[in-house]
Amino acid sequence: MAIVYNESKKTFSLHTARTTYQFKIGNLNYVKHLYYGATIHDEDLVYLIRQYDRGFSGNPYDSLQERSFSLDAQPQEFTTQQQGDFRINSIEVQNADGSFSFNGRYLSHRFYPGPFTLNGLPTAFAQDDDTVDTVELTIEDAVTKVQVTLLYSVFEEKDIIMRAARVHNGGEGPISLKRIMSFNMDYLNGRDLDLISLPGRYGQERQVERQPLTHHVHKIRSGRGISSHQQNPFIALVEKTTTEDYGACYGFALMYSGSFLAEAELDQYDQARLVMGINDRLFSYEVGPGEDFDTPAVLMTYTHKGLARMSHTYHNFFRSNLNRSRFVKDIRRPILLNTWEAAFFDFDDEKLIEIARAAKDMGVEMIVMDDGWFGKRNDDNSSLGDWYVNEEKIKCGLTQLVRQINDLGMKFGIWFEPEMVSEDSDLFRAHPDWIMEIPGRHAVRSRNQLVLDVGRKEVQDYLIKSINRILDSANIYYVKWDINRAITDLWSNALPAEKQGEVSHRYVLGLYRVMDGIIKTHPDIMFEGCAGGGGRFDPAMLTWFVQYWSSDNTKPLDNLKLHYGSSFLYPVSTMGAHVSVASPMVPLETKAAIAMCGTFGYELDATRLKKKERTICKKMSALYHKYYDLNFFGDYYRLANPFEQVNLVAWETVSKDKSEALVTVVTVQLTVNGPQEYIKCKGLEPNRYYRLEGDGNVLTATGMALMHAGIPIPREIPEFTAFIYHLKAL
């Protein structure tokens, strides 16, 4: 049992293989947080909390004048509201009588095997050989009867604790949630913590930022209705001394694809608090008597072995506990060529066949027909929502086109952007009230398109039906599911005025229902997510999509940073990465080596490549397949940081049994007559000998030597050369 409850001490100790998380029903039945860190026994750690009178920090009424007990200083599992705790809080509720107050005290708890599930929201599942136990602990406000159930599922071997909160309105009138976070995490001492986040922008997603936690509220958030290019719903709190290889790291990955919020604060006593959940901006949610509201889940992990270990924990978990598709592990994903950068909107069936013929020569196994195949779409002004084939372009019809591609020995993939509608579309003409537009105003246009009110059931049903009809009409192997704008003008014509604060969250719930209705009903189709690149690349999306298009930026050198940042959380097997014609000064081999840090493919017009170039691509495609298992399922190490001024960028994947490794080195700049550069490997078996090849030389050295002394990188070479070193244990 991963959870130990001590009845007399009232402590709950949650044990994963290498960590312990502890809380306790404490003074006045408030639930105290006691510990999260490396494994300890089940001893009661309440001794860590020293109570003393704190100026200007009030005391709950029933502490009977006990001035040393203040919620303003107590570490808690979930916060109260207006009970004298002035730090950031996890709940803001307006009660049926209009008051803003919540005073949650322990009510009950229960245990059960297996992970919790949530209403309409994705959660992680257990594999057959996982030990997973759950505790649900309910706190209640005695006056309003509003309850919050704190859910904890402990994935023992995986070192992951999944948390969420469920609000139940046990009172007699409706309540309005103004803010409800998925969890609250308190640290007794936060003085030495840094905060790592993955900010970015369109075309430059998931860069890395590290900043000290100081005495103010740090906010990492998206208010764009999608998890966004600008921030990712992930943060890590790490000790100042933490590096890739050593030091404490706490990771928090929110399973939510809409506007989210993470707030972290160092309080007046140098304690830290972190909350994360649905963004409370433009949010309120009515919960009627007897009703529940579930928050999204968060995946937490802790290690004192540095950032690489934290990433490995997430990579392993994402590869096994988020998505049941056979394309995750059992079916090898084909090398695709996507037509977007090859033809944009300018193609027809003949052009696609031509591209496919040329691409076959490059080792391409699947042609993906991107935007432009439906309605009468020839540019981005029309037809979104009209999910039927444009027979002026696809003259032979979709079924026949797919057949012809299949006859070339290739698979076929197709693009959709389900959540959007063009004003110039049959769908909009038929249902102008299905869009989000605030009455009396004109909705913001972005890429000339409008957002469907996906929270509405009839919109969901239309999307499920019209898209499934296309998927069932031909032998479609793959779908790219795109969204190309942020969400504004939150309004639903289907909701009364007092429920308009629910639109953003209802949109996300609606989207998840649509994805269930399309993706879960087509287990033989491989689905890739996309949001103008990686604008909605998040852990929730990975429960439906086996991979996510990382960025519209296919410049290989920019991708070095993008892959580095993404790798903090996301495994190689989830990151869409393609070779394109961008950056002509970078050799094709180097572009391919960089794209191999993701789910390798091409984004170019194969008919325009020279024979020689297609031969290089063929060689690189073969290499991708040769190292597929190692690359997709091995342990990934960041070896050189592209955000620092370095001459080389390097990364490595080591097989689980350490018998093999792949080290990729890209020379970014080489100064004339400069020093010899070395790259030090990681994760090898110290005492084993490895045979290494990749730069024309063959070398035999121990893991120890390769890790502590490194590999000398050839110098007299052109810039932007990539070396792919293969290491094989002898």
Give the binding range for ligand DGJ (CB under 6 A) out of 8-16, 206-214, 489-497, 526-534: 526-534
Q: What is the DSSP letter of 489?
A: S
What b/e string do you get for 663-701 counting C-beta neighbours within 10 Å, with b at 16 or more?
Answer: bbbbbbebeeeeeebebbbbbbbeeebbebebbeeebeb
Q: Please report how close the Cβ of residue 480 comes to ligand DGJ at its closest, in angstroms.
A: 6
Closest to ligand DGJ by CB, 264 or 519: 519
The mark string for 126-155 relative to ligand DGJ (x by CB under 6 A, - otherwise) is ------------------------------
Q: Please report how close the Cβ of residue 262 comes to ligand DGJ at its closest, in angstroms.
A: 26
Query: Could you tell me how many residues of this chain bind ligand DGJ (CB under 6 A)?
Result: 11
Three-class secondary structure of residue 145 per DSSP: coil
**Residue showing tokens 């298992």:** 629
Closest to ligand DGJ by CB, 372 or 694: 372
Give the binding range for ligand DGJ (CB under 6 A) out of 114-122, 208-216, 314-322, 530-538: 530-538
Rule CB under 6 A: choose which of 263, 348, 349, 371 binds ligand DGJ.
Answer: 371
97, 143 in Cβ contact below 8 A? no
Convert 78-101 into a string of H (helix), E (strand) and C (coil): CCCECCCCCCCCCEEEECCCCCEC
Q: Please report how close the Cβ of residue 484 comes to ligand DGJ at its closest, in angstroms.
A: 5
The secondary structure of 454-478 as a DSSP string is TTSHHHHHHHHHHHHHHHTTTT--E
Q: What is the DSSP letter of 573?
A: G
Rule CB under 6 A: choose which of 533, 556, 598, 683 binds ligand DGJ.
Answer: 533
| Residues between 570 and 629 with contacts to ligand DGJ, criterion CB under 6 A | none
Give the CB-side neighbour count of residue 629, counting CA atoms within 13 A: 7
The secondary structure of 603-622 as a DSSP string is ES-GGGS-HHHHHHHHHHHH
Query: Binding to ligand DGJ by residue 552, rule CB under 6 A?
Result: yes
Query: Binding to ligand DGJ by residue 534, rule CB under 6 A?
Result: no
Which residue type is seen at 94? Q
Closest to ligand DGJ by CB, 104 or 532: 532
Q: Please report how close the Cβ of residue 154 comes to ligand DGJ at its closest, in angstroms.
A: 37
Q: What is the DSSP letter of 518?
A: I
Q: Which of 371, 482, 605, 635 is catalytic?
A: 482
Give the binding range for ligand DGJ (CB under 6 A) out of 121-129, 356-364, 462-470, 525-533: 525-533
Structure tokens at 572: 């190689």
70, 32 in Cβ contact below 8 A? no
Rule CB under 6 A: choose which of 132, 530, 617, 705 binds ligand DGJ.
Answer: 530
| Residues between 383 and 442 with contacts to ligand DGJ, criterion CB under 6 A | 415
Q: Please report how close the Cβ of residue 414 comes to ligand DGJ at its closest, in angstroms.
A: 11
Q: Please report how close the Cβ of residue 182 comes to ligand DGJ at its closest, in angstroms.
A: 29
Give Cβ neighbours of residue 585 (< 8 Å, ≥ 6 apart). 720
Closest to ligand DGJ by CB, 533 or 565: 533
Closest to ligand DGJ by CB, 296 or 565: 565
**Residue showing tokens 């289907």:** 494
Measured CA to CA in angstroms, residue 684 lies from 156, 311, 313, 597 at distances of: 25, 17, 18, 19
Q: Please report how close the Cβ of residue 257 comes to ligand DGJ at its closest, in angstroms.
A: 16
Sign of CA dihedral 53, 275, 238, 46: positive
| Catalytic status, residue 516 | no
Q: Please report how close the Cβ of residue 369 comes to ligand DGJ at its closest, in angstroms.
A: 10
Report the C-alpha gap between 180 and 148 in whole angstroms. Answer: 10
Rule CB under 6 A: choose which of 149, 484, 543, 655 binds ligand DGJ.
Answer: 484
Rule CB under 6 A: choose which of 122, 510, 532, 683 binds ligand DGJ.
Answer: 532
Query: Binding to ligand DGJ by residue 549, rule CB under 6 A?
Result: yes
Give the binding range for ligand DGJ (CB under 6 A) out of 322-330, 457-465, 487-495, 528-536: 528-536
| Catalytic status, residue 552 | yes
Q: What is the DSSP letter of 675?
A: P
| Residues between 211 and 240 with contacts to ligand DGJ, criterion CB under 6 A | none
Three-class secondary structure of residue 592 per DSSP: helix
Q: Please report how close the Cβ of residue 197 comes to ligand DGJ at its closest, in angstroms.
A: 23
Report the C-alpha gap between 542 and 151 in whole angstroms. Answer: 21
Rule CB under 6 A: choose which of 267, 370, 453, 652 binds ligand DGJ.
Answer: 370
Q: Please report how close the Cβ of residue 118 comes to ligand DGJ at its closest, in angstroms.
A: 29
Closest to ligand DGJ by CB, 26 or 534: 534
Q: Please report how close the Cβ of residue 485 comes to ligand DGJ at its closest, in angstroms.
A: 10
Closest to ligand DGJ by CB, 247 or 534: 534
| Residues between 99 and 118 with contacts to ligand DGJ, criterion CB under 6 A | none
385, 423 in Cβ contact below 8 A? no
Closest to ligand DGJ by CB, 135 or 369: 369
Length of the chain equals 730
658: left (phi over 0), alpha (psi -120 to 50) or beta: left
Closest to ligand DGJ by CB, 103 or 484: 484
551, 534 in Cβ contact below 8 A? yes
Separation of first and last alpha carbons in the chain: 40
Closest to ligand DGJ by CB, 411 or 578: 578
Give the binding range for ligand DGJ (CB under 6 A) out of 84-92, 237-245, 527-535, 635-643: 527-535
Closest to ligand DGJ by CB, 348 or 371: 371
Structure tokens at 490: 């939150």
Report the C-alpha gap between 116 and 367 in whole angstroms. Answer: 39
Closest to ligand DGJ by CB, 164 or 577: 577
Q: Please report how close the Cβ of residue 534 comes to ligand DGJ at its closest, in angstroms.
A: 9
- Return contacts of 326-332, CB within 8 angstroms, 24+ apart: 326/523, 327/526, 327/546, 328/546, 328/573, 329/633, 331/526, 332/625, 332/628
Q: What is the DSSP letter of 517?
A: I
Report the C-alpha gap between 135 and 113 in whole angstroms. Answer: 9
Q: Which of 538, 552, 558, 605 is catalytic?
A: 552
Report the C-alpha gap between 711 and 704 in whole angstroms. Answer: 12
Residue 451 backbone phi and psi in degrees, to 5: -100, 130
Q: Please report how close the Cβ of residue 366 comes to ligand DGJ at its closest, in angstroms.
A: 15
Closest to ligand DGJ by CB, 484 or 667: 484
Rule CB under 6 A: choose which of 159, 348, 482, 635 binds ligand DGJ.
Answer: 482
* Residue showing the smallest CB distance to ligand DGJ in the complex: 371
Of residues 600, 593, 564, 575, the one with CA closest to residue 666? 593
Measured CA to CA in angstroms, residue 722 lies from 560, 596, 637, 672 at distances of: 12, 12, 17, 18
Q: What are the catalytic residues?
A: 482, 552
Point out which residues bind ligand DGJ (CB under 6 A): 340, 370-371, 415, 482, 484, 530, 532-533, 549, 552
